[in-house]
Amino acid sequence: MTRLLVHVEGQTEEQFVNDLLAPHLQDHGYTSVSARLIGNARQRGKRGGVKPWSEARKAIVNHLRQDTGSSAATMVDYYGLPHTGPKAWPGREVVSDARFLARPEVVEKAVLEDVARTMGVGFDPSRFIPFVTMHEFEALLFSDCERFAQGIGQPEMTSPLQKIRDAFSNPEEIDDSPDTAPSKRVVALIPEYQKPLMGTLAALEIGLVTMRTECPHFDAWLKRLENLSAQEAT
């Protein structure tokens, strides 16, 4: 079961999986790693945003049922996850006041439990490894502000970006308010920032090694993915 499909919400995450994550995991034994946007592929050109859980769950469950020899994962931003009403993701509403490190874990556990319940008896929960980015994809780019700035062709922005990074113990703690979420901070400094293109260029410049060193929750997810392949090989 070394095929992996990562269900993502946006083009930036899609490119991240295909350009950075796939080669890394293939070096760890995966035969295929790819990304798929949650929802209708024809909507790719329209504005993103995290889809309702019912829609995301349907995509994940359909994949797991149709390809029983594969695994699935998610890569979605905690910032913007629907947390109330029919669109809410499991666990999201109850974690706002939880300690930082507990928030993604609560959501991921609830999401896994809901998928397992929907899949029914006989489903192996190790086939699904959800990941909620804290708090947003751009947080990963603050792992190395110099390379972030170089990757987007604006080395003069290293110092302003580093000033933001230095206010937090690690990039994943950069908060999720509408005005101070990672991407909002970047756009405030660099109005011409284009997430799909520039985010991918910066990620390629920074690399996975630095990201996982600076971002413990991201590192934990990668380790689970690596371990899954290792287990299948034994």
CB 157 within 8 A of CB 186: no
Q: What is the pLDDT of residue 175?
A: 86
Q: What is the pLDDT of residue 184?
A: 94
Q: What is the pLDDT of residue 41?
A: 46
Q: What is the pLDDT of residue 47?
A: 43
Q: What is the pLDDT of residue 79?
A: 86
Q: What is the pLDDT of residue 174?
A: 94
Give CA separation, 211 vs 91, 99, 100, 214, in Å. 26, 22, 18, 5
Q: What is the pLDDT of residue 43?
A: 45
Q: What is the pLDDT of residue 103?
A: 86
- pTM value is 0.92
Q: What is the pLDDT of residue 179?
A: 86
Q: What is the pLDDT of residue 102?
A: 79
Q: What is the pLDDT of residue 45?
A: 42
Question: What does each of the 234 residues of the chain score in pLDDT, given as a tens digit?
Answer: 589 999 998 999 999 999 999 999 999 999 999 999 986 444 444 445 689 999 999 999 999 999 999 999 999 999 888 888 999 999 988 776 666 667 899 999 999 999 999 999 999 999 999 999 999 999 999 999 999 999 999 999 999 999 999 999 999 999 878 889 999 999 999 999 998 999 999 999 999 999 999 999 999 999 999 998 777 665
Q: Spell out the domain ranges in the chain.
A: 3-134+215-233, 137-211
Q: What is the pLDDT of residue 42?
A: 41
